Copies of this chain bind each other. A is one copy, B any other.
Amino acid sequence: MNLANTIREVPDFPQKGILFYDITTLLKNPQALKESIDQLTEHYRDIKIDAIAGIESRGFIFGMPLAYNLGVGFLSVRKPNKLPAETISESYALEYGLNTLEIHVDAVEKGQKILVVDDLLATGGTAKATCKLIERLGGEVAGLAFAIELTFLKGREKLSQYEIFSLLQYDK
């Protein structure tokens, strides 16, 4: 099946001039949901991965079924003050202002290979901050997986040292 046909394009969200690629219509479709998770699973089945890092909150959506299928653990990378135990944090620049992400200090064991999962690769700032958090804890980034990649925002350039896989690519 063609997953792209299940994505809804919403103009002017979250702000004027932005075309938003909406995954809720993909997830609502049982065949598309299954196909998206199966494609991710197939891509990573023979790659050594110890755990999946899902980025809040749509990274949880694709990351958890993948962790289940691969038989590995799952850790969450979250906005500030959501994780209950000891954390470290990374901040990164947005167009206006800063964003901050946190990870539990015990989420990653030294030397573990961690696959980062999110719904969207745009400029790559969120993914890059997540990789830094994993590496500060002694983990190794095994790769990054996304449902949607906005190729015109060149997020891959910011993440050029990592293997990147995306289910759908948009060039505008």
A residues in contact (CB < 8 Å) with B: 8, 10, 13-14, 20, 22, 24, 27-30, 33-34, 37, 51, 54, 56-58, 60-62, 64-65, 67-68, 71-76, 81, 83-85, 104, 106-107
Interface residues of A: mostly helix, strand, loop or mixed?
mixed
Q: Which residues of B contact A24 (CB under 8 A)?
A: 75-76, 83-85, 104, 107
| Number of copies of this kind of chain in the complex | 2
B28 touches A73 (CB 8 A): yes
Q: Are A33 and B73 in touch, CB under 8 angstroms?
A: yes
List, in ascending order, chain B residues with CB within 8 A of A54's CB. Answer: 61
Beyond A24-B85, A37-B68, 14 additional contacts (C-beta under 8 Å) are A10-B85, A13-B84, A14-B81, A22-B84, A24-B75, A28-B73, A28-B106, A33-B73, A33-B74, A34-B71, A54-B61, A56-B57, A61-B64, A61-B76
